[in-house]
Amino acid sequence: MVNFRFLIREMLEARHQAAIFILCVALSITSLVALNSFKRDVHQSITGDARALHGGDLIIHSHYDFSPGLLAAVNSLEADIAGKVRTWQFYSVVRNSGDETLFSNIMAVEPGYPLYGTVTLASGAPFAKQLAPGTTVVGRELLDRLGVKVGDMLQVGKTKVKIVDVVTHESSRPVDIFSFGPRVFVAAADLTAMDLVRTGSRVEYEMLLQVTNQDRLSQVVAQLQKAALPDQERVSTFQTARSGLKRFFDNLLFFLSLISIFTLLLAGIGMQSSLSALLRQKEKSLAIVRALGATQKFLLLHYLLVVLLYGFVGSCLGIAAGVALKYAFPYLFAGIIPPEHVSGLGLFDIAQGMVLGFLVVLFFTFLPLYRLREVKPNVIFRSESSQAPRGLVYYLAILAGFSFLTLLVIHQLDDSRTGIYFMAGTSGLIVLIAGLAKLILLALKRLSIRTLPLRQAFRSLLRPGNSTQPVIVTLASALSVLLAIFLVEYNLHSSYVESYPQDAPNLFLVDIQPGQRQGFTEMVGGNVQLHPIIRARLKAINGEPVKRGEQRRRFSDSLTREFNLTYRDALLPDEVVEAGGTLYKMDKKGHAPLQVSILDTVAEMGDIRLGDILDFNIQGVPLKAEVTSIRTRTKSRLFPFFYFVFPTEYLQKAPQTLFAAIHVEKSVIPQLEKKVVAAYPNISVINMAETAVQLGGMMQKLSAIVNFFALFSIFAGALIIVSSILATRLARVREAVYYKVLGGKSGFVVSVFFFENIVLGLISSLLGVLLAQGGSWALCHFLFDIPYRPYWAASMLLVVLTLLLVVGVGMTSSISIIRQKPIVFLREQTIE
């Protein structure tokens, strides 16, 4: 039976700790509720309609023109195909009637595009009626940057087309994040006149198919996959086709989910700490209740109701905060997702938030509630807290709770392997910090301090019932994650944007045809180096087929992708031979037999060594070569480099294009672009310095989003600090009174509390910095393969800010304790 008077009294007496507990509950679900709702927004408005995103039921993709066998297979399935459209997508430079040029994303389409979805135009007219041979439909950015309008002519390749409309939305490209240029739609019939698609040109060929019977989809796919050239032509359905946009949002939301779950775990520690402190503070009162006849069941039932009520209030507060946070998303994600794609929280989001809140509360409060069974009437006569032995039930409950939390994480991340790794890594981090914190506190206990305020501060940190260790664990964990994110982002930004080498190429020119070599060299400058590019795939290493996906799990690259091979007989200026002695081995006649030199990066990816035999497929032609040397580089990735280099005579006649990377003065770039495009429309000119700035801007936006979500974990640490002070309020008041009775002034009490908070902040921040520096170095060294800069100034700034936070929160929460009059306190105390 519930005693409501007891219930209400317990809740009112513990209102300060209750507020901390409620805030921890709210903090644990706020970001997750908003993020889960945002995931649904992205799915429903951007990536949800897979047919509209890809444009067909079946998608056939290749970097080369489709093989006769595949085209014959498509034609033989005429009864199963209701619609068929081909597209060609590539980058090139377009020009207005004057000399202004713009690097653009060209997409040539056949009539009937798109089979699914829409291309919305500014005029409101149907896309199929507007786009005709001799016309173009362009993105708004092109009009603004080239100073043209609808009705003007646009030079694309060797022909001119008339601008007839402006694209406002594409279902296949609902957001434009990483585009290197505005969209330019042209009719497929104009491709020949443009003369931009040549042998070796970088073109994305696609064929979109609409099937008559969805039940026959798998059979149609199977037949076309049999006819497709392996590793060159990819046949997939709208459900299995790759999407760079979907992958970007999946990765971004996945990472934000990891941070939000990390915040949930830290806030959960705050719940457990605040409830444990509350029950510890009331232990003698509860022992008196037991002495008056209350059972363990009575205490457990009433405090379970208290916790559930607190959890309900905290969940409501967290959902309200999630609503407010969701309304801030259009500003937070500005430039990444249009505001119209973000909606408010729905009933499902609210219901999910309530369920999540209660589950989190039950998990993190189980142990404190379970320890109520340790409260015995004889605790009244003890001077210290009781500690009952931990039985089998205790450890089984820990295991069950951890398993439940792991399942919750897996459900949230929608990835069982990563969920398990995340829980293992997070648990390892918390255990490591807890162990280090315990060692540091033990060391402090052994120190002999002469300064009285500092000595008393150390004793206060080690006070029974104090939450020193949970505070250190929470703050250090949050700070290490936050600083690690900053350090990795800063190192990436520094390596690829800020530290753009002065002598690095700032202009890349691609798709140069072999016949244009002499004219192009004379135009640009006689000493420019042209790199031949032959596209091929690595099929096997020592006869063992290269397996898809294995390397990508360990590296940011994959051996199964298409590579750019090249040929030359000398090292580049920034290359040195790491193994093998010379670039190529010569026979007795001074001739270089068929062999290949590889870069150390690819050697590590595939565990390739000297003497290994590599099998390549060069556009249908097999080639086998022995590895005779391994090269390494002395400059950044902004300089040209190739994984595989062959002697000239073996690849000289292969289908190829040329690539040039040059450095010119910034003021000269526009004029050079105009000259190149006017003489050779097929050559694409990429301004790498400008691209690096755009990439840096996007990295800063993503970093700001990540840091925003990571700040929630800092709030959890601040709440635990306040909880710790409230939990030990009586002991602190007693100490303050004794100091004053013994002649100490308020300034002395302030100095003790000040030193206590300073030490707490120093331990937490220094542990966080230590772990962040180690983790960031490992990520930069092993994952990103970039030089690591520790940025100690940022680390020291974090230490200072942490000290300000801890001291500010701690001293503010201690004001009432410092002001306590000795006579009032002593009058209130009873003789024990």
- Chain centre distance of CA 570: 40
> What is the four-CA torsion angle of 257, 259, 261, 267, rounded to 10 degrees?
-150
d(CA 458, CA 436): 17
465's tokens: 């019932």
Q: Could you tell me the CA-to-CA distances from 660 to 72, 509, 687 in Å, in that order?
A: 38, 5, 12
**Closest C-alpha among 180, 47, 195 to residue 108:** 195
pLDDT band at 20 (very low <50, low <70, confident <90, very high): confident
Task: Specify whether the CB–CB gap between 274 and 727 falls below 8 A.
Answer: yes
CB of 184 within 8 A of CB of 94?
A: yes
In angstroms, the CA 184 to CA 142 distance is 8
Helix (H, G, I), strand (E, B) or coil at 83: strand
The 10 Å Cβ neighbour count of residue 312 is: 16
Centre a 10 Å sphere on the Cβ of residue 373 and count the other Cβ atoms it contains.
14
Of 200-209, 294-303, 316-325, 640-649, where does mean pLDDT reach its minimum?
294-303
Q: Which pLDDT belongs to residue 270?
A: 80
CA distance 259 to 272: 20
Say if strands 621-633 and 183-187 run parallel, antiparallel, or are unpaired: unpaired
Give the mean model confidence (pLDDT) for residues 558-569: 90
How do residues 659-705 score in pLDDT, each as one tens digit?
Answer: 999 988 888 888 888 888 888 888 888 887 777 777 777 777 887 88
Alpha carbons 548 and 234: distance in angstroms, whole number: 14
Q: How sure is the predictor about 386, in pLDDT bands with cuts at 50, 70 and 90?
A: low
The predicted structure's pLDDT at residue 695: 73
Radius of gyration of the chain (CA): 34
Categorize the per-residue pLDDT at 350 as very low, low, confident or very high, splitting at 50, 70 and 90. confident
* Whether the predicted pLDDT of 494 surpasses 80: no
User: Residue 552 pLDDT > 60, yes or no?
Assistant: no
pLDDT at 826 over 80: no
Q: Which of 170-174, 289-293, 584-588 has the highest mean pLDDT?
A: 584-588
Across 490-524, b (16+ Cβ under 10 Å) vs e yields bbbbbbbbebbeeebbbbbbbbbbeebeeebbeeb
Please, which pLDDT band fits residue 727 given cuts at 50, 70 and 90? low
* Contacts (Cβ under 8 Å, ≥6 apart) of 19: none
Residue range 323-338, pLDDT digits in tens: 899 888 888 888 778 7
pLDDT, residue 210, reads 93
**Among the listed residues 523, 513, 575, the one whose alpha carbon sits nearest the alpha carbon of residue 200:** 513
Report d(CA 132, CA 348) in Å as an integer: 46
Least confident piece of the model among 65-79, 165-179, 369-383, 521-535: 369-383
Q: Please check whether residue 630 is in contact with residue 598, taking contact to mean a CB–CB distance below 8 angstroms.
A: yes
Locus of tokens 């896309």: 127
Tokens describing residue 666: 């910034």
CB 648 within 8 A of CB 568: yes
Average pLDDT over residues 558-585: 91
Cβ density class 166-195: b for 16+ within 10 Å, e for less: bbeebbbbbbeeeeebbbbbbbbebbebbe
Tell me the sheet residues that pair with 135: 162
Q: Helix count (H) and strand count (E) of the chain?
A: 26, 21
Q: Which two tokens stand for residue 754?
A: 């000040």
3-class secondary-structure state, position 93: strand
SS3 830: coil
- Show the tokens assigned to 412: 């949230």
CB 190 within 8 A of CB 108: yes
Residue 293: CB partners within 8 Å, gap ≥ 6?
A: none
Quick one: tokens of 495?
């390596």
What is the DSSP secondary-structure string of 465-513? T--HHHHHHHHHHHHHHHHHHHHHHHHHHIIIIIT--TTS--EEEEEE-
pLDDT at 521 over 70: yes
Measure the CA angle with vertex 330, ends 329 and 332; round to 5°. 55
The answer to whether residue 384 scores a pLDDT higher than 60 is no
Model confidence at 637, pLDDT cuts 50, 70, 90, reads low
Do residues 204 and 63 make contact, with C-beta atoms less than 8 angstroms apart? yes
Strands 159-170 and 135-139: parallel
Q: CB pairs under 8 A, 24+ apart, for 323-332?
A: 323/34, 325/30, 325/31, 325/34, 326/34, 326/37, 326/38, 329/34, 329/38, 332/704, 332/705, 332/708
476: nearest Cα among 709, 318, 269: 269
Q: Which two tokens mark 681?
A: 């429309």
- Token output for 759: 């030490």
pLDDT score for 388: 52
Residue 824 has a pLDDT of 66
Tokens, residue 499 = 């530290």
Amino acid at the residue 273: S
Distance, CA of 324 to CA of 330 (rounded, Å) = 12
Cis status, amide bond into 114, omega within 30 of 0: yes
Helices (H), 43-147: 50-54, 68-76, 127-130, 140-146
Q: Bin 201: left if φ > 0, else alpha if -120 < ψ < 50, else beta.
A: beta
Residue 551 above 50 pLDDT? Answer: no
Q: Can you say whether residue 250 is alpha, beta or left, with left for phi > 0 and alpha for psi between -120 and 50 degrees? A: alpha
Over range 595-609, report the average pLDDT. Answer: 92
Instruction: Yes or no: say if 229 and 70 are a contact pair by the CB < 8 Å rule.
Output: yes
Query: Measuring CA to CA, which residue among 171, 178, 184 is closest to residue 143?
Result: 184
Cross-strand partners of 121: 167
Q: How far is CA 489 from CA 117, 698, 699, 702, 792, in A?
A: 37, 11, 7, 9, 15
